Amino acid sequence: MASSMLIGAENRLAFSTRSNLHGPHFPKIGVVSPIRARTKTLVPNCSVSAARPVSQPRFIQHKKEAFWFYRFLSIVYDHVINPGHWTEDMRDDALEPADLSGRDLVVVDVGGGTGFTTLGIVKHVDAKNVTILDQSPHQLAKAKEKEPLKECKIVEGDAEDLPFNTDYADRYVSAGSIEYWPDPQRGIREAYRVLKLGGKACLIGPVYPTFWLSRFFADVWMLFPKEEEYIEWFEKAGFKDVQLKRIGPKWYRGVRRHGLIMGCSVTGVKPASGDSPLQLGPKAEDVSEPVNPLVFLLRFLLGATAGMYYVLVPIYMWLKDQFVPKGQPI
């Protein structure tokens, strides 16, 4: 999983308690077809960045922790995580709303990691026009090894403080990165800023599960936003024509109550040049705060258990697909 911006300091985690679930399933949003969000755009002024408050301890809470996490995960990421949660078919389906319609488009892939999503982008856009940004040099090293990405620009950077000029790109893509952002609203605001007038952002990420055990492990591990939260973040940043499309492996049919690391693709169009109308204050993250070793060990054990759970979920769902009669939700 690509991670441009990692979970904030121990007492300032970018997660929230969840409430107001819509019954035992996700909100009734078209499973395949995109939906149109509310037409009114909210443009509040915030004096301080509103990071998501902590509800439970998580494994990765600082950039330094994440650095070492991806130092080792990058070795097997393409072979262990992607097959269950982010297949080539899913990638192409999720990128379709991004409207990658020209070889000359300027594209930034934020949280591009090992370049798996970028491989889908360069099917439609010349690699020389694509920039892969990630905070993990180990993930980016894997991307550099892929022949189709040799001409891409490689940048180490922060999803919530992008090193690109305002009105720079035609397309903004971010897949499997938002779950690590301390302040998702800030990251999406940055997506708005770097796009040109009429440019489109495409953000791909997980959706909060409704099955109780999956909810528990999601809260222990990392950020799983609700579908309506994605739409709200895009609208507040100033995007128009906000749409959400559910994605998943072909064998993961029905309401995806167990959760996927990649569960939806959200797009929005930048309606005016310049910065986002949403004003945010300074970041709340403090990565220099010392960590209690015992607390870190507890977070590590909980996080490792949650990570293993989400490795097993797609295997479990694949087995169910083999035995549950076709046409019945699983």
Question: Token pair of 148, please?
Answer: 């189709």
pTM above 0.85, yes or no: no
State pLDDT tens for residues 317-327: 888 888 888 87
Asked if residue 19 belongs to a domain, the reply is no
State pLDDT tens for residues 216-233: 888 777 788 899 999 999
Please list the helix, strand and coil fractions of the chain in percent, rounded to the nearest 5, in that order.
35, 15, 50
User: What's the CA gap between 210 and 88, in Å, rounded?
Assistant: 26
Asked if residue 8 belongs to a domain, the reply is no
Asked if residue 103 belongs to a domain, the reply is yes
Question: Token pair of 115, please?
Answer: 């370049």
Give the SS3 label for residue 173.
strand
Asked if residue 190 belongs to a domain, the reply is yes
Q: What is the CA radius of gyration of the chain?
A: 18
Q: Domain span at residue 168? A: 35-283+291-323
Residues with Cβ within 8 Å of residue 203, at least 6 apart in sequence: 172, 173, 174, 175, 178, 188, 191, 230, 234, 265, 266, 267
CATH code assigned at 305: 3.40.50.150
Asked if residue 80 belongs to a domain, the reply is yes
pLDDT score recorded for residue 190: 97
Question: pLDDT-derived band of residue 274, with 50, 70 and 90 as boundaries?
Answer: very high
Asked if residue 328 belongs to a domain, the reply is no
Total of domains in the chain: 1
Apex 226 CA angle, 83 and 195, nearest 5: 80
Asked if residue 2 belongs to a domain, the reply is no
Beta bridge mates, 268: 201
Span 185-207, average pLDDT: 96
The helix or strand, by DSSP H or E, that contains position 74, with its residue range, turns out to be helix 63-80
Asked if residue 306 belongs to a domain, the reply is yes
